[in-house]
């Protein structure tokens, strides 16, 4: 049985990894893999009732993650439909390459913890297409956006889906992860930024800096500000809500979405019904990437059966006995996330190591959050932010591998060193 489950998982994972070659959305093989793995497990189990209980328990845990993602994605879509992000992008006017690189990278780094690394990448890469005409220069900017978005998302409970998974799973707390990982994360950005700055000389060729509205429905500047600030504050308030109420984070995102819904209805009260619908949360719900949510569901189901059948526990024991050094294990997992999607890697790690072994806010979990959050920057297909940037900017895989990967790795190891030194010298 174990062999069949592992073989099914690996075949399904290969189908996910070669999504661009097969032209089949990764959600499809993820869902099929998850169901087939559970089918193999239950058909070979002596007590079907226990397996159904394990599945129900896993699904209950994963549904919280899915509802959280849906709520967060909808709020971001509402802001975008109101052209709220233009409030930031239209204020960037410099043409100096080096100065622009620093502005874009730092802006991406500080937006990512609140808007998540994927959304921030989409916004900033779209901006680059308007600001930088030269293709080679634009690809360098895109590469730094990917590094900055992943670095920024690593130190926030809502900045990266893997950090969110650890937060929802109880492995980390919001305040602690922000305190412990801020310095390593910003170092992982500053090192490649300093290295690349030496190459960026002169001025860029502007290709038209006027903001282009994303919606056909006109939105007043006043309403843009209201929706943008409301959405940003509501997203920031989710970790605070969890800390104060001790309710799961998806409860916080659901009440935030409800408040956002009311705000958009009130601010659009004077518009025609057709115009209001184009800016409404109901319309935003149609725009969110449902296939990504189903992909997460399929992956989490697959990992769930690996955990329920004891495969992950066995793997953890082998890894600990063979490698032993916790830092080497975490760094290896982080680099592996550049090749293998970091969502199943983190889910597998959660199944391999229990809270009894490594309690909440343990050094191990925080290091995992950093490694899987920033390690994916080593390859352009190693993170959701990288894949989005690749699609939006047509940045070639091998171009990124030759010119950006070494920068990302330099930052990755520098940030890891800072995190380790924090613990060794300051027990911080």
Tokens describing residue 98: 């080096």
Q: Which pLDDT value is given to residue 194?
A: 94
65, 97, 41, 38: which is closest to 296 by C-alpha? 65
With pLDDT > 70 as the criterion, what percentage of the chain qualifies?
A: 90
Tokens describing residue 204: 């860029």
The domain spans of the chain are 61-426
d(CA 315, CA 294): 27
Please report how many Cα atoms fall inside a 13 Å half-sphere around the Cα of residue 277, on the Cβ side: 4
**pLDDT over 50 at 136, yes or no:** yes
d(CA 232, CA 76): 9
* pLDDT tens-digit map of 9-41: 888 878 876 776 777 887 888 899 989 988 998
78, 87, 84, 81: which is closest to 260 by C-alpha? 78
**pLDDT over 90 at 253, yes or no:** no
DSSP 349-361: HHHHS-TTTS-TT
Are 233 and 263 in contact by the 8 Å Cβ rule? The answer is no
Work out the number of other CB atoms within 10 angstroms of the CB of residue 290: 13
Are 410 and 191 in contact by the 8 Å Cβ rule? The answer is yes
114, 110, 398: which is closest to 256 by C-alpha? 114
Place of tokens 């959660």: 350
The residue with greater pLDDT, 387 or 223, is 223
d(CA 400, CA 138): 12
* pLDDT tens-digit map of 376-409: 899 877 777 887 787 677 777 788 888 999 999 9
Q: Which pLDDT value is given to residue 367?
A: 93
Q: Which are the contacts of 378, defined by CB distance < 8 A and separation ≥ 6? A: 335, 338, 405, 408, 409, 412
Top mean pLDDT of 184-193, 330-339, 394-403 is at 184-193
Confidence class for position 359, pLDDT limits 50, 70, 90 = very high
Model confidence, pTM: 0.72
Q: Name the maximum alpha-carbon separation found in the chain.
A: 70
Distances (CA, A) of 189 to 24, 106, 386: 33, 9, 15
Mean pLDDT of the 137-149 span:
92
Q: Which pLDDT value is given to residue 210?
A: 44
d(CA 108, CA 115): 10
Dihedral angle of Cα 362, 363, 365, 368, to the nearest 10 degrees: 180
């Amino acid at each position: 049985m174990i062999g069949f489950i592992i073989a099914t998982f690996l075949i399904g994972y290969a189908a996910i990894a070669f999504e661009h070659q097969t032209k089949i959305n990764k959600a499809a093989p993820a869902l099929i893999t998850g169901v087939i793995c559970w089918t193999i497990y239950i058909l070979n189990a002596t007590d079907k009732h226990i397996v159904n209980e394990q599945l129900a328990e896993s699904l209950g845990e994963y549904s919280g993650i899915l509802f959280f993602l849906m709520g967060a994605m909808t709020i971001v879509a509402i802001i975008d439909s109101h052209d709220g992000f233009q409030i930031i992008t239209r204020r960037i006017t410099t043409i100096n390459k080096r100065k622009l690189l620093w502005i874009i990278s730092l802006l991406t780094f500080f937006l990512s913890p609140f808007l998540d690394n994927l959304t921030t990448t989409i916004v900033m890469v779209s901006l680059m297409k308007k600001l930088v005409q030269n293709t080679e220069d634009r690809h360098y900017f895109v590469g730094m956006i990917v590094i900055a978005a992943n670095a920024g998302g690593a130190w926030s409970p809502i900045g990266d889906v893997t950090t969110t998974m650890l937060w929802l799973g109880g492995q980390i707390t919001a305040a602690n992860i922000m305190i412990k990982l801020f310095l390593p994360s910003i170092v992982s950005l500053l090192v490649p930024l300093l290295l690349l700055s030496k190459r960026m000389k002169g001025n860029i060729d502007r290709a038209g800096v006027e903001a282009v509205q994303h919606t056909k429905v006109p939105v007043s500047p006043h309403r843009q500000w209201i929706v943008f600030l409301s959405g940003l504050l509501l997203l920031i308030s989710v970790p605070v809500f969890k800390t104060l109420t001790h309710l799961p984070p998806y409860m916080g995102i659901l009440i935030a979405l409800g408040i956002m819904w009311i705000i958009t209805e009130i601010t659009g009260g004077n518009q025609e019904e057709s115009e209001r619908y184009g800016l409404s949360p109901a319309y935003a719900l149609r725009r969110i990437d449902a296939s990504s949510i189903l992909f997460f569901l399929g992956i989490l189901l697959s990992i769930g059966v690996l955990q329920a059948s004891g495969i992950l526990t066995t793997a953890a024991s082998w890894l600990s006995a063979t490698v032993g050094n916790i830092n080497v294990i975490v760094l290896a997992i982080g680099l592996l996330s550049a090749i293998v999607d970091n969502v199943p890697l983190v889910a597998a790690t959660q199944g391999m190591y229990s809270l009894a072994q490594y309690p909440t806010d343990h050094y191990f979990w925080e290091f995992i959050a950093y490694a899987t959050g920033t390690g994916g920057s080593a390859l352009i297909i190693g993170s959701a932010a990288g894949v989005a940037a690749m699609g939006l900017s047509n940045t070639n895989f091998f171009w990124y591998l030759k010119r950006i990967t070494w920068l990302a790795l330099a930052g990755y190891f520098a940030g890891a060193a800072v995190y380790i030194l924090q613990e060794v010298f300051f027990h911080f």
